[in-house]
Amino acid sequence: MGIDVGTTSARAILINKEGKFIAEGAGEYPMSAPQPAWAEQDPADWARGVRRAIHEALRRAAAKPDRIIGIGLTGQMHSSVFLDKSNNVIRPAILWCDGRTGAECEEIERRVSKKTLLEEARNIALPGFTAPKILWLKNHEPAAYRRVSRVLVTKDYIRFLMTGVFATEVSDASGMLLLNVARREWSDAILNALDIPREWLPMVFESPEITGRVSREGARLFGLAEGAPVVGGGGDQAAGAVGNGIIRAGDCTISLGTSGVVFAPASKPPPATGTTIHAFCHALPRMWHTMGVMLSAGGSVQWFRNTMRGLNPKFSYRKMDEIAASAPPGANGLIFLPYLTGERTPYNDPDARGVFAGLSLTHDISHMARAILEGVAFGIRDSADMMRQLGVPISRIYVSGGGGQSDLWRSIIASVLARPIRRLEIDQGPAMGAALLAGVGAGVWKDVAHATKNTLRVKDEIRPLKDWSKAYADHYRRYRALYPALKDYFKSPGHPA
């Protein structure tokens, strides 16, 4: 079983020893925004969502819990859960897309020093990471901070409820900004500089390793069999990469979920670049990866669909594809900046916002729909270009996530990148990767490479269209000019929150 504790819902899937998908279940939960740029969730909602997802997957498979021979966990990265000495949640979890910690990021770079931060964590301080959230709690909610005894991220809180074990694994730990990424262990240099006690942090495992077994209480809470092994799993992007077979240098996956991620493995620790390209441990021993993240990829499409549903309750993603396909490449000069919740790569600007530029009387809803798909594709190219400039090889590109189901969007992205894009027969996202990691831990496959080789097959490939690529090369240059022209406006008083 692979369990993905996502941003809007939990998902559980079951696969067999041949890697064949058997069944899935889901459980949704809300997200709150108490203030502008804030994003929070109640961890109890995650637990309820996971319980519903497990129950539904077992029901659809007509399987009893004792049929599960291994469980893998994945989920949204960076989202921070604070527990007290009695292991009670102190406050709502602060999510990966929360933008409140800009001042704390600056504080980290002062206290740790950029040089040490890059040497140890291999990343700059970004608002979504966990370490700035810990400092925010200390600076803004000191009474809550004084109660902290443990700090966990999303999937590892579910692991604790499931097994009673405080554990994480290297890929999710990398995103906390507290790990020495090269050595794959907590960084004493960063912890000491920030006065964060090491005992607050869980044990660190490799992703296929067994971290614990379902406890009696975990079995009761989630409807599982007591004693089932639970492996480390991975952060959603690392697990998703495993689920797409992205485990070798030269491979690259584009994940089109709420966020948009460009992910490429590396056989040695990536260089400390000081850019918004992340450098994390991969969900394979002795492997790392680089990653560019845009915050509103599928989120931009979802916003448009939801907005249009106010006019037409039957408006769907398929309808958006249909009307976007009727507009020409370049959308008659209309450009969309997909920064609806700020941006991480390439600009690290929580104040950035979405923009339609070049709108005229000649444009209609079809141009707007296509401009959104193209704007996200240009954001994907931003990350891919930055990674190539860092010397990261990108030779085989795969696409995953809900957005990857759109033939039009895949064609647009292939043409923007001027590279073919492949899709796998099974696209079960991070949950698939978590299930494969569980199979490795349970001894079904000897390692992750063996698991992916024996279970994953290419479904199709979309090649770039020359006319589109030519149009997009010019359109991309104008897209790149927009943010610098609007940067000061985004930061001015009274700009859209």
Residue 236 appears among annotated catalytic residues: yes
User: What are 18's two structure tokens?
Assistant: 């041949």
Token pair, residue 331, equals: 């959308």
Contacts of 389 (CB under 8 A, 6+ apart): none
∠ Cα 319 323 328 (to 5°): 150
Q: Which two tokens stand for residue 48?
A: 């309820």
Instruction: Determine which one of 172, 236, 321, 351 is catalytic.
Output: 236
Cβ neighbourhood burial of 318 (10 Å; 0-12, 13-18, 19+):
exposed
Reduce the DSSP state of residue 329 to 3 states and report it.
Answer: coil
Cite the beta strand spans of 154-241 per DSSP E. 167-169, 179-180, 185-186, 203-205, 210-213, 229-231, 234-235
**Crossing angle for the helix pair 317-325 and 365-389, nearest 10 degrees?**
90
Euclidean distance between CA atoms 105 and 341, whole angstroms? 18
- For the stretch 262-267, contacts whose Cβ atoms lie closer than 8 Å and that sit 24 or more positions apart, written own/partner, are 262/291, 262/292, 262/380, 262/383, 262/384, 262/387, 263/237, 263/238, 263/289, 263/290, 263/291, 264/289, 264/290, 264/291, 264/387, 264/392, 264/393, 264/394, 265/241, 265/289, 266/290, 266/392
Which positions are catalytic? 236
